[in-house]
Amino acid sequence: MKLAVLYNPPGALLPGEPIDKYAEHDGEETIRGLCGALERLGHTPTPVIADRRLPWRLDEGGFDAAFNIAEGEGRRSREAIPAAVCELLGVPYTHSDPLTLAVCLDKDVARRLVSSEVRVARGGVVSSRAELVALGLRFPVIVKPNDEGSSKGIRGGPLAADEDAAWSKVRWLTETYGCPVLVEELVTGAEVTVGLRGNGDDVELLGITELGPVRPGPEPFVYTHELKTDPNYAEHMYIRPTPQLPADQLQAIEGAARAAFRLLGCRDVARVDLRLNDAGEPVFLECNPIPGLKPGWSDLVLMTRDRMSYDELIGGVLVAAQRRWSKP
Ligand SMILES: Nc1ncnc2c1ncn2[C@@H]1O[C@H](COP(=O)(O)OP(=O)(O)OP(=O)(O)O)[C@@H](O)[C@H]1O
Ligand SMILES: [Mg+2]
């Protein structure tokens, strides 16, 4: 197949812009890795930047389909736009549809959708001090951008011990990123990320990875932007593709992740982040319907590397999409 690999490369930071402005964007290494895998699988991939020229690039490129890992541009619906352009032009594409991509990027909307079956932390979007007070949250809380990923904005101490600290963090995030801000009660048990691949009755568990601090301290563990970009992260945190958790908790984690995948309408592949509460029950944090695919680095790659090659990981996503496309 002649495949367009849709992506958004990081731009150059302008003076005064936050250091993690392009944290979600995919660099050359990911695109090279992905295109290499698609070539070895017998396809002809072409990297296509998902900017304002995307409709023309796609229309004139004569592609059979698109492999979509684009972050898009704009605010909470940005990830939906490249997928929507594919729909507009009738180009079949991998990963979720525009509605799911938009919903998952708005963490609060995603929380509301999954909360019919999966626990979520108490919290909500806050734009005034009165709204923060009205939530009546138990402290400490975590204060995070409502529509970002890759731990963007989760830096410089994202936890707040009281209302004053939480409100000052809300204001910092709003001023720095111009984004709505989500404040959530802290869930302090084990943290896991769950990879799922496939569709309908054929959704396969790619793995469950447990994350945590190497030396637990008095402060609860948070997977911050600082940790995500630290080449020496292993000195501070472990990433265990074989979680050291009891079987019943693992079963509950898998069940919650599968429920979130279904309730959010995910397709082909996704990664669901959860954390256990004091009772050992899984609590939904967020869902990533375009999970990172950087060779040797991203969660999905690390969680599967003992069982499948990078090419098999990518090939399975494409096969799941192709099965979907072939249905009337
Ligand atoms: N309510 C919470 N309780 C405890 N920890 C939390 C909570 N919300 C977020 N965290 C911590 O902050 C980290 C980042 O949060 P979250 O997964 O929502 O952000 P993200 O930037 O979308 O992440 P990703 O890099 O997976 O896209 C989590 O991995 C977790 O360590
Ligand atoms: Mg996350």
Q: Which residues contact 236 (CB under 8 A, 6 or more apart)?
A: 213, 214, 215, 227, 230
**Residue extents of the structural domains in the chain:** 2-105, 122-185, 188-326
> What token pair was written down for 93?
């594409």
| Mean pLDDT in residue range 114-132 | 97
Q: What pLDDT score was predicted for residue 327?
A: 87
Model confidence band, residue 177 (pLDDT cutoffs 50, 70, 90): confident
Ligand 1 centroid from CA 154, angstroms: 8
**Ligand nearest to the Cα of 142, by number:** 1
CATH 3.40.50.170 for the 188-326 domain, yes or no: no
The finding on whether 187 has its CB within 6 A of some atom of ligand 1 is yes
Please measure the distance between the N-terminal and C-terminal CA atoms of the chain and give it in whole angstroms: 20
Q: What pLDDT score was predicted for residue 20?
A: 64
pLDDT tens digit string along 42-51? 999 999 999 9
Q: What pLDDT score was predicted for residue 95?
A: 98
pLDDT tens digit string along 70-111? 999 888 899 999 999 999 999 999 999 999 999 999 999 999
> What token pair was written down for 172?
């910092």
For 8, counting Cβ atoms within 10 Å of its Cβ (0-12 exposed, 13-18 middle, 19+ buried), the class is buried
Q: What pLDDT score was predicted for residue 148?
A: 78
Closest-CA residue, ligand 1 atom 21, reads: 151
* Distance between CA atoms of residues 272 and 46, nearest Å: 29
| Mean pLDDT in residue range 152-158 | 76
Q: Is the pLDDT of residue 38 over 90?
A: yes
The finding on whether 141 has its CB within 6 A of some atom of ligand 1 is no
Q: Is the pLDDT of residue 230 over 90?
A: no
- Residue 96 near residue 104 (C-beta atoms within 8 A): yes
- Collapsed DSSP state (helix, strand, coil) of residue 313: helix
* Distance between CA atoms of residues 86 and 91, nearest Å: 5
| Mean pLDDT in residue range 307-328 | 96
Q: What pLDDT score was predicted for residue 155?
A: 76
**Ligand nearest to the Cα of 24, by number:** 1
* Distance between CA atoms of residues 207 and 242, nearest Å: 8
Detail the DSSP E strand segments found in the chain.
2-7, 44-49, 65-68, 119-120, 123-126, 141-145, 159-160, 181-185, 191-199, 202-213, 237-240, 268-276, 282-288
Q: What pLDDT score was predicted for residue 248?
A: 98
| Mean pLDDT in residue range 291-319 | 96
Nearest alpha carbon to residue 194 among 252, 114, 273: 273
* Distance between CA atoms of residues 54 and 242, nearest Å: 40
The finding on whether 211 has its CB within 6 A of some atom of ligand 1 is no
Tell me the percentage of the chain whose pLDDT exceeds 90: 82
The finding on whether 222 has its CB within 6 A of some atom of ligand 1 is yes
- Residue 186 CA: nearest ligand 1 atom is 3
**Ligand nearest to the Cα of 276, by number:** 1
Kindly report which listed range (54-58, 120-124, 178-182) carries the lowest average pLDDT score: 178-182
- Residue 151 CA: nearest ligand 1 atom is 21
Closest-CA residue, ligand 1 atom 29, reads: 223
More confident residue, 148 or 64: 64
Model confidence band, residue 157 (pLDDT cutoffs 50, 70, 90): confident
Ligand 1 centroid from CA 93, angstroms: 28
Closest-CA residue, ligand 1 atom 2, reads: 186
Q: Is the pLDDT of residue 57 over 90?
A: yes
Kind of pairing, strands 44-49 and 2-7? Answer: parallel
Q: Which residues contact 322 (CB under 8 A, 6 or more apart)?
A: none
pLDDT tens digit string along 233-281? 999 999 999 999 999 999 999 999 999 999 999 999 999 999 999 999 9
CATH 2.60.40.1150 for the 2-105 domain, yes or no: no
Nearest alpha carbon to residue 213 among 223, 225, 198, 205: 223
Ligand 1 centroid from CA 87, angstroms: 31
| Angle of CA points 86, 202, 309, to nearest 5° | 80
Ligand 1 centroid from CA 286, angstroms: 7
Q: Is the pLDDT of residue 11 over 90?
A: no
What is the chain's mean pLDDT, rounded? 94
Model confidence band, residue 150 (pLDDT cutoffs 50, 70, 90): low
- What pTM was estimated for this model as a whole? 0.95
Give how far Cα 221 sits from Cα of 138, 181, 211, 213, 245, Å. 18, 20, 9, 6, 17
Q: What pLDDT score was predicted for residue 224?
A: 87
Q: What pLDDT score was predicted for residue 46?
A: 98
The top-level CATH class assigned to 122-185 is alpha beta
The finding on whether 142 has its CB within 6 A of some atom of ligand 1 is yes
Q: Is the pLDDT of residue 151 over 70?
A: no
